[in-house]
Amino acid sequence: MKTPHVTAAGIQKARKAAGLTQVQFAAKIRDAVPGTYVVGSTVSRWERGVRTPPTYLTLGILAVCEHFKKLETVPVSREDT
């Protein structure tokens, strides 16, 4: 299986679409991949292209992004609120 490539622009776009700060996005990644050290400045470096996320975090980043995509497409009924 090929590891998906995550781009700087893609990370920033997904984070902003989810309405998260870099710190909040980092926390979501830490939740998705326990035992990792990701903070807001780490996300900033990825978004600016200074660094690229390590391969082991790529799937965690994609999982976080997919989670928010699914939330956006699920209709909420009045009973759910």
Gap between the Cα atoms of 26 and 79, Å rounded: 32
User: pLDDT digit string (tens) for 7-41?
Assistant: 888 888 888 888 899 999 999 999 888 898 999 99
This prediction's pTM: 0.74
Spatial neighbors of 17 by CB under 8 A, at least 6 apart, are 68, 72
Fold of the domain built from segment(s) 8-67: 434 Repressor (Amino-terminal Domain) (1.10.260)
User: pLDDT digit string (tens) for 36-74?
Assistant: 899 999 999 999 999 988 888 888 888 887 766 654 443
Spatial neighbors of 8 by CB under 8 A, at least 6 apart, are 46, 47, 48, 49, 52
